[in-house]
């Protein structure tokens, strides 16, 4: 590995360059937009999540990008979740949005984390928002996408995760539409975690031996039939960083409402500098090895600690910005592992961070590496890529950048989604940027999506994954002559639509075999059906997956 040669096709980028001292900074060319109102506030963090083919009542089939930023200040009350419903799979136009908007949090909160899951309780994808509420504890809000187009999200429940009177970092990751994991620091108790399977939540696991640990993060990995949770956290007394693992199923077995002490398998302990940023870990969602990587900074150097089991059994630490440390500082790094998922190669690592410079331009930078932390596609030494609209002749007082961790080929949109915070000069306000890299461009690190089948290690959840977007109301409804039902499949399947009356008698039935992709099935010849209320049953490969009410005029 040559740590002094950095050249990579990254995020939101063009081929022009601008030389500053010995470094080259590639300016951005990909779309970005602003969404979020933060006048007078002081944001401390951001998170984001993206998912393809979300079937909605309001907009039909969409890709959904959700982001957040929060103040992490008990005296401030204006944090937000942002959303963008976008035309699905439209290369080159990720901001051809159907609508954008915000969900405001007016109570003082910290670490707004966003994710999604297919919830069997509602028969649809739901939005998840995890956070710490000052004076209350750690919380999880669940939102359905069933409101009007102007305000599509409706909060349906809040799950208390802790009653901690003191702040502790909280983080979340999602897996293939059915799995969720949330981890948080509960001061006085240690590191705690909870998981979900299609809307069914577990009890709480306290990780044994973590009383003095702080600032956790978590990521899914699925290389064997066991779906694993990889944790990372730092000891407040020794500065040791621990990476450990627990099976998802072991946590899922804890009954909801109960708390059990579980002992994770410790895979790595690494001593870090005394004063470092928050830790961020990620793994390939599906791969043939349990590789992982996490990043942090000491304020100057950006560190990546990783293990590549194809090459070695021992984790290694690399400093990825050695040529910048004499001039630029570093803040708030983030990481994404799995950039090769759509081409069948998951061994790609992306790192981004804020790089302030007292003697010149400050900016957000990013790089892409292979699983050995070699820079991909090297062309010129010391190249870095700038994120859009992030360059300023002053240093932002506060910064934050996040990648969507989603890298499941079946679930991820054609764009890597990134959010980051910039400061408006002289007025004390901030902007939340939403940027995309088009995975389908010729100079991208990920190509066009190829034919995919559900991963065998997720086979027990196959039906749920296939039909996660099919439970969308038929349209028009009420109907006169017939109606349509749109859905998205992740593999070739047999679809049956069945109209029944209130007694359960089958009045009309239609079966088709459809390949993977987005489809619409039309049920017509309904003229002779008497006016009234009926039920539409949906079956996938013979298994009933949903029922909805339909009305005949």
pLDDT digits (tens, 9 = 90+) for 458-467: 655 544 444 4
Please give the Cα distance from 167 to 165 (Å, whole number). Answer: 7
Average pLDDT, the chain: 82
* 206 and 262 housed in the same domain: yes
Please give the Cα distance from 327 to 186 (Å, whole number). Answer: 38
| Burial of residue 344, with CB atoms counted within 10 A of its CB: 0-12 exposed, 13-18 middle, 19 or more buried | exposed
pLDDT digits (tens, 9 = 90+) for 121-165: 998 999 999 999 999 999 999 999 999 999 999 999 999 999 999
Is residue 548 in some structural domain? yes
Beta-bridge partners for 60 = 56
Is residue 449 in some structural domain? no
436-458: average pLDDT: 47
pLDDT the model gives residue 29: 57
Backbone angles phi and psi of 81, in degrees to 5: -110, 135
Residue 93 confidence class, pLDDT cut points 50, 70, 90 = low
420-431: average pLDDT: 84
pLDDT the model gives residue 9: 30
Residue 210 confidence class, pLDDT cut points 50, 70, 90 = very high
* 141 and 156 housed in the same domain: yes
Residue 341 confidence class, pLDDT cut points 50, 70, 90 = low
Neighbours of 365 (CB within 10 A): 29
* 44 and 168 housed in the same domain: yes
Residue 452 confidence class, pLDDT cut points 50, 70, 90 = very low
Please give the Cα distance from 206 to 477 (Å, whole number). Answer: 48
Q: Measuring CA to CA, which residue among 331, 324, 367 is closest to residue 349?
A: 367
Q: 239, 270, 301: which is the final residue of a domain?
A: 270
Q: How many domains does the chain have?
A: 4
Higher local confidence (pLDDT), 366 or 478:
366
Is residue 455 in some structural domain? no
Apex 489 CA angle, 486 and 490, nearest 5: 155
pLDDT the model gives residue 448: 35
pLDDT the model gives residue 425: 78
Please give the Cα distance from 139 to 194 (Å, whole number). Answer: 12
pLDDT the model gives residue 22: 53
* 323 and 378 housed in the same domain: yes
343-371: average pLDDT: 83
* 299 and 397 housed in the same domain: yes
| Sheet with 79-86, edge to edge strand ranges | 45-56, 60-70, 79-86, 97-105
| Burial of residue 445, with CB atoms counted within 10 A of its CB: 0-12 exposed, 13-18 middle, 19 or more buried | buried
* 39 and 163 housed in the same domain: yes
pLDDT digits (tens, 9 = 90+) for 491-507: 677 788 888 776 667 88
Q: Where are the beta strands (DSSP E) in 356-454?
A: 363-370, 383-386, 401-403, 415-423, 430-438
Neighbours of 324 (CB within 10 A): 23
Higher local confidence (pLDDT), 88 or 310:
310
Higher local confidence (pLDDT), 449 or 334:
334
In this prediction the pTM is 0.80
Is residue 336 in some structural domain? yes
* 101 and 25 housed in the same domain: no
Tell me if the bond preceding 292 is cis, omega within 30° of 0: no
pLDDT at 5 over 70: no
210-229: average pLDDT: 95
pLDDT at 188 over 90: yes
pLDDT the model gives residue 282: 98
User: Which residue range forms the structural domain that includes residue 543?
Assistant: 466-552
Residue 342 confidence class, pLDDT cut points 50, 70, 90 = low
* 427 and 483 housed in the same domain: no
pLDDT the model gives residue 450: 34
* 306 and 372 housed in the same domain: yes
Please give the Cα distance from 134 to 192 (Å, whole number). Answer: 18
Q: Measuring CA to CA, which residue among 28, 27, 24 is closest to residue 379?
A: 24
Is residue 444 in some structural domain? no
Q: 226, 250, 270: which is the final residue of a domain?
A: 270
* 85 and 144 housed in the same domain: yes
pLDDT the model gives residue 438: 64
Burial string for 19-56 (b: 16+ CB within 10 Å, else e) reads: eeeebbbbbbebbbbebbebeebbbbbbbbbbbbbbbb
- The torsion defined by the Cα of 295, 168, 160 and 257, in degrees rounded to 10, comes to 80
* 300 and 425 housed in the same domain: no
CATH code: domain of residue 539: 2.60.40.2550
Is residue 383 in some structural domain? yes
Backbone angles phi and psi of 463, in degrees to 5: -60, -45
Pairing of strands 292-297, 302-307: antiparallel
Higher local confidence (pLDDT), 420 or 429:
420
Is residue 432 in some structural domain? yes
pLDDT the model gives residue 319: 95
Is residue 278 in some structural domain? yes
The answer to which of 11-25, 36-50, 375-389, 513-527 has the lowest mean pLDDT is 11-25
Sign of CA dihedral 265, 271, 277, 281: negative
* 476 and 368 housed in the same domain: no
């Amino acid at each position: 590995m040559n740590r002094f040669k950095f050249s990579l096709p990254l995020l939101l980028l063009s081929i022009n360059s601008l030389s500053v001292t010995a470094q080259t900074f590639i300016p951005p060319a990909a779309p970005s937009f602003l969404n979020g109102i933060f006048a007078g506030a002081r944001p401390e963090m951001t998170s984001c999540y993206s998912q393809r083919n979300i079937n909605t009542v309001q907009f039909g089939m969409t890709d959904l990008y959700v982001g957040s930023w929060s103040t992490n200040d008990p005296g401030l009350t204006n944090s937000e979740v942002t959303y963008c419903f976008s035309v699905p799979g439209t290369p080159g136009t990720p901001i051809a949005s159907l609508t954008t908007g915000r969900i405001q949090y007016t109570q003082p909160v910290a670490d707004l984390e966003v994710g999604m899951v297919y919830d069997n309780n509602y028969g649809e994808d739901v939005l998840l928002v995890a956070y710490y509420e000052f004076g209350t504890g750690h919380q999880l809000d669940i939102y359905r996408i069933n409101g009007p187009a102007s305000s599509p999200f409706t909060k349906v429940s809040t799950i208390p995760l802790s009653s901690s009177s003191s702040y502790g970092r909280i983080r979340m990751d999602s897996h293939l539409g059915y799995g969720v994991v949330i981890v948080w620091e509960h001061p006085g108790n240690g590191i705690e975690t909870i998981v979900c399977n299609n809307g069914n939540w577990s009890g709480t696991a306290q990780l044994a031996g973590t009383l003095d640990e702080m600032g956790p993060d978590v990521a899914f990995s699925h290389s064997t039939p066991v779906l694993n949770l990889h944790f990372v956290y730092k000891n407040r007394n020794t500065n040791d960083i621990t990476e450990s693992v627990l099976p998802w199923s072991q946590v899922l077995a804890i009954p909801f409402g109960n708390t059990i002490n579980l002992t994770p398998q410790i895979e790595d302990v690494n001593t870090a500098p005394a004063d470092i940023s928050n830790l961020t870990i990620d793994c390939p969602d599906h791969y043939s090895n349990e590789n992982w990587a996490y990043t942090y900074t000491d304020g100057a150097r950006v560190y990546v600690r990783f293990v590549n089991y194809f090459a070695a059994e021992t984790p290694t630490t690399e400093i990825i910005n050695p040529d910048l440390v004499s001039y630029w500082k570093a803040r708030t790094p983030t990481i994404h592992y799995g950039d090769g998922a759509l081409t069948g190669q998951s061994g790609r690592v992306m790192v981004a961070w804020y790089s302030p410079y007292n003697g010149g331009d400050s900016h957000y930078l990013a790089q892409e590496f292979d699983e050995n932390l070699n820079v991909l596609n090297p062309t010129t030494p010391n190249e870095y890529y700038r994120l859009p609209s992030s360059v300023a002749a002053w240093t932002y007082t506060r910064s934050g950048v996040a990648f969507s961790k989603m890298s499941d080929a079946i679930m991820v949109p054609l764009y890597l989604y990134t959010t980051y915070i910039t400061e408006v000069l002289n007025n004390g306000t901030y902007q939340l940027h939403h940027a995309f890299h088009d995975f389908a461009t010729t100079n991208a690190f990920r190509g066009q999506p190829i034919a995919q089948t559900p991963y065998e290690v997720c086979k027990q959840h196959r039906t749920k994954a296939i039909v996660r977007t099919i439970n969308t109301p038929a349209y028009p409804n009420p109907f006169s002559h017939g109606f349509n039902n749109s859905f998205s499949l992740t593999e070739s399947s047999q679809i049956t639509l069945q109209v029944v009356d209130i007694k359960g008698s089958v009045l009309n039935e239609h079966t088709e075999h459809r390949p993977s992709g987005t489809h619409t099935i039309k049920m017509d010849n309904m003229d002779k059906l008497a006016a009234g209320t009926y039920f539409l049953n949906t079956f996938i490969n013979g298994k009933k997956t949903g029922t909805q009410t339909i009305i005949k005029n």
